[in-house]
Structure 1
Amino acid sequence: MSEDRVVSIAGLSRRFGRKLALDSVDLQVPRGVVFGLVGENGAGKTTLIRHMLGLYRCQAGSVRVFGRDPVAEPVEVLRRVGYLSEDRDLPEWMTVAEVLRYLRAFYPSWDDGFAEDLRRQFELDPKARVKTLSQGQRARTALLAAIAYRPELLVLDEPSTGLDPIVRRDILTAIVRTIAEEGRTVLFSSHLLDEVERMADWIAMMDRGRIVLRGPLADVKGAHRRLTLRFDEPPQQPPRLAGSLFSEGYGREWTAVCEGPPDLLAREAAGLGARVVGEDVPSLDEIFVARVRSREPVESEG
């Protein structure tokens, strides 16, 4: 594996009974980036992450983390990885301080000063027992535990679950950016695309077990356009431009999310009898919806 790749996945497929959870997934995560893995619930994000952590053995394909097989060499991989799951599984009977002391023993790189700074920032009572914590406090405790030993790769599976909007925007974003600025890598999965758009440098979109789009966020957004088309007469069916992923509208005005050079798209629109009266860069959410819907059968509207 190249030194600049923290994660390298090739041809990974996984079935649970008759369900194909992962379908020939290829994915590389560069070193030192914030990498967002996006998709609806059930798209395969958590299954993919569990392969990275060595919790699932590959049925087909390969997974390498820091150039190693996480199933064959779990200690060598996991000592360099911090992980926060959606479940926030913590010992109910321990206090916050006891949880941190317990985990500290496993990681030689545990940073006591950093952990204490985070505890205060997260407003966690060290004497409070886990069973008495709110969902948000549990999430903060689990996040603290995942990053206090400054892992080279931080994996967050739906990290916003249980966090209020202020914590999501301020604390989570600040921590993720700080880790990346130190040259370490963050991979996080989320179905909240506005959150991914705010934090990520790179993205991969998953839909029904497949990667449908990947790359630097700026490149992904720069390759797409949202066009507003105006027709002299209402089209008999949704307009289909070359490069159009999805279109919606009614009567003489339609909006299309497209991929391709703007001048080519304008010529395509003119060929359909339409003028481009508006052009903008779509949000990541709009791109995702367009990509997913482009894989579904298009129903004509009369």
Structure 2
Amino acid sequence: VRVFGEDPVKKPESVLKHIGYLSEDRDIPDWMSIGELMRYTSAYHRGWDQSYADELLDTFSLDPAKKVKTLSRDMRAQVALICAVAHKPDLLILDEPPSGLDAVVRKDILNAVVRTISEEGRTVIFSSHLLEEVERLADHVTMIHQGRVTLDSSLEMINENHHCFSIRFTEQQHAPPKLENAIAISGEGRFWSVIHQGSTDSFSDVLQRIGGEIVESRHATLEEVFVSRVGREDLREQTIEGSK
């Protein structure tokens, strides 16, 4: 394995200087003040940009004289983010960055991440269960369920290939219609909702042949895609277990 052309085991210092990391638990020393923590962290990073750190402190309305142990959960997350980004890392790794935070604080943190991506052209890898925010930030998405990759694609391709259809049949359907490339189907009677992967033209043609029509069509949200794929994976696991 090579990270930035270096062996991370043999030369960890060379690799770590390129990386910023924000953990989910945001474990930072309680006994330091914010200012002391900034100075302590900057000693490990030659690329530390104090003016950028000060700008973020001002954006988050953080007092450098305050002790970390007196900070709220939201404020600790803001401080931890500054420590992760102020040395302008080439790679920023965020583990559930907005998890459990106030909505306003979460927005401020994500805005800082967006700036890192858009203005500075850096790479950000982050894990999150808040899929609306993933849609806002990511250009490539990997979905993982129970340790298995269920989807790995650019966000653009996911949007192009996944649609949500509201469909209507001329006659009552007593069971979910069998539709190729439908990854989720719900509804009853004449009215059904389908999450579909693939060509919309072929789907419309197949639907017409079995007495159905598309009433409404839109791109599926990332959350709808994830829930549909997770449901399909769970059903697949149950089928495998049942066949043993």
Mapped pair 1:207 → 2:145? yes
Conserved 8 A contact 1:139-1:162 = no
Whether 1:100 and 2:32 are equivalent positions in the alignment is no
Q: What's 1:111 paired with?
A: 49
Q: 1:245 touches 1:294 (CA, 8 Å); kept in 2?
A: yes
Structure 1 counterpart of 2:115: 178
Q: 1:136 to 1:162 in 2, by over 3 A?
A: farther
Cα distance, 1:297 vs. partner?
Answer: 2.2
The answer as to whether partners of 2:3 and 2:15 remain within 8 angstroms in 1 is yes
Distance 2:225 2:99 in 1: 23
Q: CA RMSD for the aligned pairs? A: 1.7
- Greater relative contact order structure (CA < 8 Å, 6+ sep): 1
Identity percentage of aligned residues: 43
Q: AA paired with 1:288?
A: F
Aligned-pair CA distance for 1:167: 2.4
Partner Cα distance (1:179, 1:223) in 2: 29
**DSSP-derived class of the 1:140 partner:** helix
Asked if 1:264 corresponds to 2:202, the answer is yes
| Structure 1 residues 251 and 67, CA gap change in structure 2 (3 angstroms) | farther
Instruction: Report the CA distance shift for 1:295/1:108 in structure 2 as closer, same or farther (over 3 A).
Output: same
How many positions carry a matched residue from both structures?
236
Deviates more, 1:73-82 or 1:284-293: 73-82
Considering fraction of residues, name the structure with more strand.
Answer: 1
CA drift at 1:172? 2.4
Tell me the distance in 2 between the aligned counterparts of 1:293 and 1:72.
43
Structure 1 partner of 2:242: none
Q: How far did 1:75 drift?
A: 1.8
Matched, 1:161 2:96: no
Written as runs of structure 1 = structure 2, the 5 A alignment for 1:164-243 is: 164-169=102-107, 171-181=108-118, 182-243=120-181
CA separation of 1:67/1:241 partners in 2, compared to 1, >3 Å: closer, same or farther? Answer: farther
> In structure 1, which of residues 277, 282, 293 is the aligned counterpart of residue 220 of structure 2?
282
- Distance in structure 1 (CA, Å) of the matches to 2:172 and 2:6: 58
Distance in 1 (CA, whole Å) between partners of 2:116 and 2:172 is: 52
Supply the distance in 2 between the matched residues of 1:64 and 1:194 (Cα, whole angstroms). 32
* 1:160 alignment partner, SS class: coil
Relative distance call for 1:65 and 1:212 in structure 2 (3 A) is: farther
TM-score by length of 2: 0.91
Deviations 1:226-267 (A, max 9, x none): 111111222232122111101111221010000111110112
Long gaps (5+) in structure 2: 239-244
Structure 1 stretches of at least 4 aligned residues deviating more than 6 Å after TM superposition: none
SS in 2 for 1:220: helix
By percentage of residues, which structure has more helix?
2
Aligned to 2:97, what secondary structure does the other structure show? coil
1:79 corresponds in structure 2 to 17
Q: Distance in 2 between the 1:99 and 1:251 partners?
A: 62
Aligned mate of 1:130, from 68, 72, 80: 68
* Partner-residue secondary structure (3-state), 2:62: coil
Q: Which has the larger radius of gyration?
A: 2
In structure 2, the residue matched to 1:39 is none
- The question of whether the paired residues in 2 share the 8 Å contact of 1:139 and 1:161 is answered with no
The aligned amino acid for 2:109 is L
Point out where structure 1 has 5 or more consecutive residues left out of the alignment. 1-62
